[in-house]
Copies of this chain bind each other. A is one copy, B any other.
Amino acid sequence: MHLNIAVLEGDGIGPEVVAQSIKCLRSVEETFGHSFTFKKGLIGASAIKKTGNPLPKETLDLCKKADATLFGALGLPEYDDNPKAKVWPEQGLLRLRKELGLFANIRPVKVFPSLVKQSPLPKASVQNTDLVIFRELSGGIYYGDKSISEDQSSATDTCTYTEAEISRITHLAFKSARSRKKKVTLVDKANVLETSRLWRRVVRSISESYPDVVLECLFIDNAAVQMILNPSQFDVILTDNMFGDILSDQGSVIAGSIGLLPSASVGLEHAMFEPIHGSYPDAKGKNIANPVASILSMAMLLQHFKMNEESDAVVAAVLKSFAKKIVTPDILGSSKYGTNYVGDFIADNIM
């Protein structure tokens, strides 16, 4: 198979981790006889610095033409700490998700048996965790009207959801549950929010077409507790953009390191694959960033194109790195292996 892959390294550790995924894709090419081409585009702080724009038109065009996009990470504290900035890195990612129509962000949280003891949570509750979060990615308060009063003394964000937006991701979530443990948990705040009440109504009505799947509803405050106390109760979690952002980062605690969790962002025409971690500017260039989240995101890319054998081979190589303790310091504090070495090991073991 031939794939054109757009590569957006972004900021901080983005370039370092994406480099490992590309190494692994080269190895997949060789082992399985595929051909991948990579074209890089600017995004985030690096794009602002070079072009003034966190998502230059060339980058958007590149992603639109590509078969899929591999994304690193973005963000730099100098922008966070400047509340008067007119442009900041995250705008690039948010606009890209919207322009590509990536409405579902799929975030699996699985505890690898060899890493169970890495989790700070009790073994009993984490070892059976195998859940996937379906986070709505192109609507909600992320994209609603925003405003600030002229005298700068009052600000507003708007959260809007339509039945159509809720419906398309709900079907994805229920279809996924069908091939899994047959349970969907809708997370919302229906005792406060009108949008949550719309979610409940739409999801409940769609659930009737999936009689083999159980639907459960949880308030976000309770869900944030349950994710820690008893994550193995979940199968598919379905939620909006903001709640999904919070819950899925929390999921990283279960797995033992945020450097392990991949995600796929999909729409009708495009797909992008991105680790859930951020750009960790403090770690940049130190060769300590964990490349596994990026590599597993790349494995989701392969799966997206039905290269299941290839995807399994990548995951197997990652598991081998865990078994041999060829891991970065976030996993074993005392580890002497760097980003590059771990990437090489995994690439060499794709077979």
Contact = CB atoms under 8 A, between A and B. Distances in A.
Interface string A50-62: 0000000000000
A97 to B, nearest CB: 12
A194 B120 contact: no
A99 interface: no
B224 A246 contact: yes
Nearest to A143: B192
B157 A195 contact: yes
Nearest to A149: B162
For the side of the interface on A, what is the size category? 35 or more
Contacts of A80: 190-191, 217, 219
A90 B192 contact: yes
Contacts of A219: 80
A196 to B, nearest CB: 8
A9 to B, nearest CB: 19
Contact of A154 (B162, B200, B228, B248): B162
Interface string A152-163: 111111111111
Nearest to A75: B191
A349 interface: no
A217 B252 contact: no
Interface string A203-242: 0100000000000010111101100110000000000001
A142 interface: yes
A190 B192 CA distance: 23
A249 interface: yes
A176 interface: no
Contact of A195 (B156, B160, B201): B156
A83 interface: yes
